[in-house]
Amino acid sequence: MNTLAEENYLKSIYHLSVNATSVSTNQLAALLNTKASSVTDMLKKLAEKELINYTPYQGVSLTAAGEKIAVNIIRKHRLWEYFLVEKLDFKWDQVHEMAEELEHISSNELIDRLDKFMEYPKFDPHGDPIPDCNGLFKIHNLKPVSSIGINEGGVICGVRDHSKAYLQYLEKQSLTIGKKVTVAEIIEFDHSMVLHTEDNTIQISREVANNLLIAL
């Protein structure tokens, strides 16, 4: 199969491809916490294996084969996260690092059985969709809370920022997946927002609102 490093590169290219047709060397270096020269070396190797389309200086994209591998790793990552939260009672801000290791456990039969054991969950603890064993998943059409107006609202279904600090903050404010929120007020000065939930009123900054995703 592929090495751990190769898998991490493919996964990173996949994530960066969501908002672009092509991914740059520096973007990858930043995400992977490494140097541009190291990225170039690895891109040559992945191109050699026909997992990416690479023209020097022009950025990269995944081939169908590369995307398949990337989606499979993401499937594993999200299923393990679901397991850690739903079966082992971890909090949603604790599971990322463990899932980063578990996603590289090679057996597909293991992950398919884990999927079955948990009754085929469709979303991970952060609201991200879990690809099925064929790599297929639905993309929710979510909007950041910052994009809606007064008296509008919806159900929290995801986050853009997966950092521990952000997740812990949301947890403390009870702004978790499934909560219904309505915008009660928008402060003109700094665009912070006052939200109503079933049992609470909470003021959040524009930054927080920007990273909180809802379904209308």
Partner DNA sequence: AATGAAATTTAGACTTGTCTAAATATATTA
Partner DNA sequence: TAATATATTTAGACAAGTCTAAATTTCATT
Q: Residues 13-52: x/- map of binding to DNA (CB under 7 A)?
A: -----------xxxx----x-xxxxxxxxxxxx-------
The yes or no reply on residue 56 touching DNA (CB under 7 A) is yes
Q: Which stretch binds a copy of itself (CB under 8 A): 26-34, 108-116, 126-134, 162-170?
A: 108-116
Task: Give which of 130, 133, 174 is closest to 156, Cα–Cα.
Answer: 174
Q: In sequence order, what are the beta bridge partners of 62?
A: 52
The yes or no reply on residue 101 touching a copy of itself (CB under 8 A) is yes
Burial grade of 178 (CB within 10 A; 0-12, 13-18, 19 or more): exposed
Task: Give which of 64, 61, 68 is closest to 21, Cα–Cα.
Answer: 61
The yes or no reply on residue 66 touching DNA (CB under 7 A) is no
Residue 53 contacts residue 23 (beta carbons within 8 Å): no
Which amino acid does the sequence have at 103? E
110 binds, among DNA, a copy of itself, none (CB under 5 to 8 A by kind): a copy of itself
Q: Is 177 helix (H, G, I), strand (E, B) or coil?
A: coil
Q: Which stretch binds a copy of itself (CB under 8 A): 31-39, 57-65, 113-121, 156-164?
A: 113-121
Interface residues with DNA (CB under 7 A)? 3-6, 24-27, 32, 34-45, 54, 56-59
